Copies of this chain bind each other. A is one copy, B any other.
């Protein structure tokens, strides 16, 4: 394995990030030119290497865990930081799944042009994609594998608490797996700095890293997105999440309660039920049933009048994570309006037995996912599309939107050739 940027000691965070980006860019053509077989071989080799490096990875992770415990990390964050035997196995399975997933067509014939020419629409890799994510070691493998699948080089920046685990995963799993199939091991870079400033530096290199995936939600993601935009760097991100469920007057209340439960099977996640809208004609009768269901889930309803914005995202509020806002609305149109205007536009579900009302709601709601009689938690790349998502994007513009998966990470190019 050639010397990687991890072996040098850059004097500043920004220069460390720039060095990673430069190295990734130099290695990018290796992935761009690779055959589908080589790409899938690299992913399979990652799975094999992951099993082979099990002891090394667990040791590095134990050191991260110990340091985080000593620093007073909360139990929830410690759980996300921890790698277990079971999780390592799941990571390897995810790699095999991705290796087996189909490659999108690289070129589509669009037709003939005058003068004996033909037009082809081609999909090209972006080149180098950045990714900034929380202190979860599995995400290092997850994001790296999806970048490789999409034939993009990458610069990864993880939360500092996971840097030891991530470094071991890069050196003992990702880089050697690329080498195993004669791809350039420098194609995936990990920023070798625990400094939070690295995230900011990563979104300021438009010529080297034109696109950065921002995982996670909240103000830090929002700030990074704004910083990126100022520097001409595009991000795929969702600073805000929060699922909406609308219980229509024509709802099957039992189904509604079931969907509420299934939309709250996890709490600290962006796609869980955050705002429950109830048709005003059934509000009085449904509310006690809803409250009963929520209490069995240890979830607190926030009833009107609210002392917070209607779309306030509880998942980001460590003190009140187990809260759901409840609001009566006039009808499906009003529910769609509230969902469009007061929430992030991640996902909304209508519970109704009326297909006309469902159609009306689904036509009016403009978020990234719209569901009829289905839980908000479905807004997820794996659940919808069967492949892990690199992130979720809630931009209201053309391009990848909602769960972003590896086929999205490409550039369109028109090619004209002799027929």
Contact = CB atoms under 8 A, between A and B. Distances in A.
Interface string A370-413: 11111000110001110000000001111111110000111111
Contact of A397 (B110, B234, B367, B374): B234
Nearest to A29: B364
A343 interface: no
Nearest to A114: B383
A4 interface: no
Contacts of A402: 412-414
Contact of A401 (B127, B384, B413, B418): B413
Nearest to A411: B401
B362 A415 contact: yes
A115 interface: yes
Contacts of A410: 398
A146 interface: no
Q: Is the interface of A mostly helix, strand, loop or mixed?
A: mixed
A229 interface: yes
Given A117-B374, A119-B384, A367 B413 contact: yes
A229 B229 CA distance: 5
A230 interface: yes
B396 A399 contact: no
A1 to B, nearest CB: 27
A19 interface: no
B415 A371 contact: yes
Interface string A326-369: 00000000000000000000000000000000100011101111
Contacts of A397: 126, 210-211, 234, 399, 411
A358 B211 CA distance: 28
A384 B232 CA distance: 28
Contacts of A366: 124, 127, 411, 413
Interface residues of A, number: 57
Interface string A209-246: 01100000000000000100110101000000000000
Contacts of A71: none
Contacts of A363: 32-33
Contacts of A367: 413
A398 B409 CA distance: 6
Interface string A161-198: 00000000000000000000000000000000000000
A284 interface: no
A418 to B, nearest CB: 6
Contacts of A400: 398-399, 412
A414 B232 contact: no
A368 B110 CA distance: 15
A33 B395 CA distance: 22
A412 B418 contact: no
Top 7 nearest A-B pairs (CB, nearest first) are A399-B399, A229-B229, A234-B397, A210-B396, A371-B416, A401-B412, A374-B416
Interface of A: 29, 32-33, 110, 113, 115, 117, 119, 122, 124, 126-127, 210-211, 226, 229-230, 232, 234, 358, 362-364, 366-374, 378-379, 383-385, 395-403, 408-418
Given A117-B374, A127-B366, A234-B397, 19 more contacts: A32-B363, A124-B366, A211-B396, A229-B229, A367-B413, A368-B412, A368-B414, A369-B415, A371-B416, A372-B415, A373-B418, A384-B414, A398-B408, A398-B411, A398-B412, A399-B412, A401-B412, A402-B412, A403-B414
15 contacts: A110-B385, A113-B378, A113-B383, A117-B374, A122-B370, A124-B366, A126-B397, A226-B232, A229-B230, A230-B230, A370-B416, A371-B416, A372-B415, A384-B414, A401-B413
